[in-house]
Structure 1
Amino acid sequence: MATPRDTPASRRTRANGDGTVYQRKDGRWEAAGYVLAPGNTRKRVRVYGTTRKEALAKLTEKIAASNRGLPIAAADSTVGDYLTYWLNGVAVHQVRENTHTRYAACIRLHLIPGLGAKKLARLTARDVRTFLDRLRTTCQCCAQERDTDRRTCCTIGQCCDKRLSPLTVTYIHSVLKSALEHAVREDDLPRNVARNVKTPAPRSRRFKPFTASEARQFLHAASGDRLHALYELALRTGLRKGELLGLYWEDLDLDSGSASIHRSLQRTPTGGLTILHTKTRASERRIALPTECIHSLKSHQEHQQEERQAAGTGWTDNGLVFTTSTGNPLDPTNLTRSFGRLLHRAGLRRIRFHDLRHSTATLLLEQGVDLVVIKELLGHAHIGVTAGVYAHVRLRLQRQAIDTLGAALDPTGDNPDAPPATAVVR
């Protein structure tokens, strides 16, 4: 009589609720079992693997999630059900809260109304392409009935034709691709049909950074501001707004003139002002501080001590470099308002706070600083990001280089004795 240990692995009896696992004719292993599906129903799901162990592990993971009360979307689920499952069961553990909030709005406002009723297994590339084309041409006031209570726009027969920007349509497409890619990884779909749809690359957002003259004017106007050290640090180092507001005194070494960047202050829907790690590993960096920033930071530290004494017991000691007059974290929105008022007082054109970062990179490029150094200073993940964002500056530098070479080769120039360039360069 054969014992359980003598029984082949493919024929062992599994307990009730554990599902079944067997080898298909094509050599792959298939595991099937019942899980909790959207709508508080139970559905049978199938997963596949190259080995019995792999298929069984995938099924066990789905059953475990189902036992925790998490609905599992199967291939016969609708796109809307799957997107809801992916948003609340997968993406919530992989992205930041603010990113998850944007995903949720994208799914609620666009993806579910446009594709939610279709079966996940029957979704085609044509469905996705038709959906995206409709997004580009549809007035959003009409589609989302934003004006029904105000008796404006479409309700009075005068459509405002408020369409989504190409950048927003591309973002919606990327969210759909991410969700379907997870379905492919879990073997719920054989392929990601959204990847077969090509969307035109949106034009990059145009920005107008400060010129060298405007940058000097800005620094002069900021010299008497309470947040002078912050503005100077932003323009001279290119730190992001969240990185500046999430900077602690312990992150600074004013003696050696360096700063460690590994935190960021963000406002989240549930936690309010929250200190988080930088978004990517590349954003964690150590930068050299300019001499001017060291002097302004030391002055700012002295001024903060005076504010601490003036506030007394009302001071909140959190170790942040830039705070309110009572020691609380600075709200990013309030900083944006203060920045706008400073520009107005200085008589400068209005730009975004993030354009200070662009100004840093642009001015460094124009001074001939190597692109790799700028990438490390800004904390870009890849040098292609740096090169792509500031392509217009590189083109201008190329023009200057060509003009310089042209002047050197001009036989009618200041050096008539120079021999003409007759050699052909290949």
Structure 2
Amino acid sequence: MTTPSISRRTRANSDGTVYQRKDGRWEAVGYVLAPGNTRKRVRVYGVTRNDALVKLTEKVAASNRGLPVVTAQGSLAAFLTYWLENVAVHHLRENTHTRYTAVARLYLIPGLGRKKLAKLTAKDVRTGLNELRTACQCCARGLDAGRDQPQCCAVGKCCHKRLSAPTLAYVHSVLKSALEHAVREEEIPRNVARNVRTGTPRPRRFEPLTTREARMFLAATSSHRLQALFELALRTGLRKGELLGLRWEDLDHGSGTASIRRTLQRTRTGGLTTLPTKTVSSERRIVLPAPCLLSLRAHRKQQAQEKEKAGAGWVDSRHVFTRPDGHPIEPATLTRHFKALLRRAHLRQIRFHDLRHSTTTLLLEQGVELVVIKELLGHAHIGVTATVYAHVRLRLQRDAIHLLGRTLGKPSEATTNPDDGDDPPLCAAPVR
């Protein structure tokens, strides 16, 4: 008994419809999952019946896995503009939003902006990042052509100015954040930028002050008007904005502590503005060293004299560190004072933020536990502390290994007392 053949036009229920159009192409129509847990009718086309059927089958299979159909029709440039102006502006600090906007304008939109958001692939992202990695920025952005006297590509001599690895990673991070929001709004099914690996950039190298240099720095601040600020920066590792945003009500001389609640920064729209701390973990309470308490008391007496001298011109900003007329100190002004102080002390030029690194390095060299340093610095995770100061920990490991080597050497070479078995392990031994 023969089985009757099934017509190739026969389709099961919910499988969709496939038919040939008047122009010769084949069209397949079916229903797939749409945003909002609804069903949407979609149409796909192919040169042959099988082509159209395969496309429809792929969309139905993705729908069955819970992936909604792509609704984004615009370009990546249009979505980045929408995201920056309507979403990121409400969730990012103003300076961070300014940097995100610059990254989109200078790198993402020129390279990938014309791509359709719905059709953007991981290969497109990787290709765009590779072009940024290898292209001379003077040529790509037309910087040399705009100069009065071209020095690079316009004269046929490329300067080979490339983006640094941290900048490239930052560009990738901005794109991932934007596409992540597109996924949340169900514009696209997945974040293709997450499938691209740019490599972990090496942390920025810094040169903290040595113990001798730190003592020279403290000695040079003894006659400076902002001695209390510089001493507080080196002894506690507070950020520049946290120091400038400190108010008298944040200090508790009875318990010898300071509450870090805010930061002072200059923004593009608000000028010199008081903002919340960098992260939630940055809002913390720290113990003030005894020398800092003494210098802060002297600083308050000095500020009272300046207030009396200024008279009606005094502005009560309630900040601990102010200008002689009471106004808050500009971050750029503090940097100039710091550079001048280094020159006066005959010390090498470093960034103000390197005082924070110096604090941490000196604490690590004294054997202070990493978790204590993390709380003092206000890092969100201990992994941040461990990563930034990995080179310090390696040096401490090297000293510990050398100490163990001397202990395990010949008896005549040992410089320490014999171990009676009751002492703690050598990992807690002090280092040079």
With the shorter chain as reference, the TM-score category is 0.7 to 0.9
1:311 corresponding residue in structure 2:
310
Say whether the 8 Å CA contact 1:409–1:420 is kept in structure 2: no
Say whether the 8 Å CA contact 2:229–2:321 is kept in structure 1: yes
Task: Give the counterpart letter for 1:413 in structure 2.
Answer: E
2:89 is the counterpart of 1:92: yes
1:108 corresponding residue in structure 2:
105
1:408 corresponding residue in structure 2:
407
In structure 2, C-alpha distance between the alignment counterparts of 1:263 and 1:414, rounded to whole Å: 52
1:30 corresponding residue in structure 2:
38
2:145 corresponding residue in structure 1:
148
The alpha-carbon distance between structure 1 residues 104 and 420, as it changes in their structure 2 partners (threshold 3 A), is: same
2:79 corresponding residue in structure 1:
82
In structure 1, C-alpha distance between the alignment counterparts of 2:319 and 2:416, rounded to whole Å: 63
2:188 corresponding residue in structure 1:
189
1:424 corresponding residue in structure 2:
none
In structure 1, C-alpha distance between the alignment counterparts of 2:144 and 2:314, rounded to whole Å: 47
2:121 corresponding residue in structure 1:
124
Shift of 1:416: 11
Match of 1:139 among 114, 125, 136: 136
Shift of 1:31: 7.2
Pairwise CA RMSD of aligned residues?
A: 2.4
Task: Give the counterpart letter for 1:338 in structure 2.
Answer: H
Q: Secondary structure at the match of 1:90?
A: helix
In structure 2, C-alpha distance between the alignment counterparts of 1:97 and 1:107, rounded to whole Å: 15
The alpha-carbon distance between structure 1 residues 257 and 84, as it changes in their structure 2 partners (threshold 3 A), is: same
User: Percent sequence identity over matched residues?
Assistant: 62
Q: How does 1:11-410 map to 2 (within 5 A)?
A: 29-30=37-38, 75-149=72-146, 150-152=148-150, 153-410=152-409
The alpha-carbon distance between structure 1 residues 419 and 139, as it changes in their structure 2 partners (threshold 3 A), is: closer
Say whether the 8 Å CA contact 1:170–1:202 is kept in structure 2: yes
In structure 1, C-alpha distance between the alignment counterparts of 2:311 and 2:39, rounded to whole Å: 66
The alpha-carbon distance between structure 1 residues 419 and 361, as it changes in their structure 2 partners (threshold 3 A), is: closer
The alpha-carbon distance between structure 1 residues 161 and 420, as it changes in their structure 2 partners (threshold 3 A), is: same
Q: Secondary structure at the match of 1:329?
A: coil
**TM-score for both structures, normalised by structure 1:** 0.81
Say whether the 8 Å CA contact 1:234–1:244 is kept in structure 2: yes
In structure 1, C-alpha distance between the alignment counterparts of 2:85 and 2:197, rounded to whole Å: 27
Say whether the 8 Å CA contact 1:233–1:293 is kept in structure 2: yes
Say whether the 8 Å CA contact 2:256–2:287 is kept in structure 1: yes
Of residues 342-351 and 143-152 in structure 1, the stretch that sits farther from structure 2 once superposed is 143-152
Shift of 1:147: 2.4
Task: Give the counterpart letter for 2:153 in structure 1.
Answer: C
Shift of 1:163: 1.4
Shift of 1:400: 1.6
In structure 1, C-alpha distance between the alignment counterparts of 2:358 and 2:296, rounded to whole Å: 21
Shift of 1:398: 1.3
- Deviation per CA, 1:341-386, whole angstroms, max 9, x where unpaired? 1000100001100000000000000001111111100001111111
Say whether the 8 Å CA contact 1:283–1:381 is kept in structure 2: yes
Shift of 1:417: 9.9
In structure 1, C-alpha distance between the alignment counterparts of 2:91 and 2:417, rounded to whole Å: 68
State how many pairs are aligned.
Answer: 362
Shift of 1:415: 7.1
Task: Give the counterpart letter for 2:381 in structure 1.
Answer: H
The alpha-carbon distance between structure 1 residues 289 and 117, as it changes in their structure 2 partners (threshold 3 A), is: same
In structure 2, C-alpha distance between the alignment counterparts of 1:309 and 1:74, rounded to whole Å: 66
Task: Give the counterpart letter for 2:399 in structure 1.
Answer: Q
Say whether the 8 Å CA contact 2:259–2:283 is kept in structure 1: yes
In structure 2, C-alpha distance between the alignment counterparts of 1:140 and 1:89, rounded to whole Å: 29
Q: Which runs of 5+ in 2 are unaligned?
A: 1-30, 41-62, 422-432
Say whether the 8 Å CA contact 1:261–1:285 is kept in structure 2: yes
In structure 2, C-alpha distance between the alignment counterparts of 1:394 and 1:358, rounded to whole Å: 13
Q: Secondary structure at the match of 2:413?
A: coil
Task: Give the counterpart letter for 1:252 in structure 2.
Answer: L
- Deviation per CA, 1:225-281, whole angstroms, max 9, x where unpaired? 010000000000000000000000000012221000010001110000000110211
In structure 2, C-alpha distance between the alignment counterparts of 1:269 and 1:112, rounded to whole Å: 22
The alpha-carbon distance between structure 1 residues 85 and 353, as it changes in their structure 2 partners (threshold 3 A), is: same
Larger radius of gyration: 2
